[in-house]
Amino acid sequence: MKDAGRMALSMRSNLEVSQKTSPEDQVSNADLAISALIKNRLIERFREDLVISEEDANHQVAIESFKRFWLIDPIDGTQNYIMDHDDYCVMVGLLARTDARPAPVPIYGFVLAPQTARLYHGGVDCGAYRIDLNDESKEHKELRVHGSLISESKARVLMGTRDRRAHPWVQSVQQLQLIKTGSIGLKVARILEGEADLFIHLSGKLKTWDTAGPAAIALGAGLDVGCLDSDSLEFPLPATLQECSVIMGKPGALNWCRKHLSREAIKDD
């Protein structure tokens, strides 16, 4: 991850950008280079696992013979990266399945913010941690979330720009204070740092590599991770699209969102 961060910083001055599916869906030569770096190292070290990157040419892969899956988002927040903003990160998430749970679930995740040299990592039953890579001690500082959300409380809510545009009514919810941060990984980091209460995505258009790493870290920290209609977040491999809302936040975040941001809540208002 550290080498990926260095690569992100060094390549920013010589970017080549092309369009994928739309003008808002762009990819840079840095995305491709970081993807190749991380993917090659994971394949070399974990030969029995399946490694999937956002920048793979083909995501239609057979998963039946695999039990563990690495999902890579080489630059989450490519638009911010291209525009020389700080809100981008490198993300890797590990999913695994067992005989008891055939659907893959988050196990461990990594989120690196190159601009601040902060690496967040953690997973289920492991805790959540931050390493300041510029600090000589390289201490793994455990991050503990204090407090919980009750349905009547006001919440500091992180929500993506496109999602806000698609749901403008959100800004009229009295118990909601919107906070703007680009990358999903950095949104979860802000919750862990005590700067926000929850992240929500309502549109149902996130990809599994967007959420695998952050979800694992969030679960490690004891955060709520789920949807408006489920207490857990599904990873429907080999499909890559999560066609549901996504919520990560302090304990109580799921119930808070269901009270204030669900269809039923909108009708009541």
Going by the annotation, the residues of the binding site for Mg(2+) are 54, 73, 75-76, 210
C-alpha distances in Å from residue 155, one per residue of 77, 88, 168, 230: 24, 24, 17, 20
Annotated binding site: 54, 73, 75-76, 210
Contacts of 256 (CB under 8 A, 6+ apart): 149, 150, 151, 153, 155, 175, 198, 249
Alpha helices (runs of H) in the chain, residue ranges in sequence order: 2-11, 29-45, 78-82, 161-166, 184-192, 208-220, 253-260, 263-268
The residue among 220, 254, 252, 248 whose CA lies nearest residue 143 is: 220
DSSP label at 33?
H
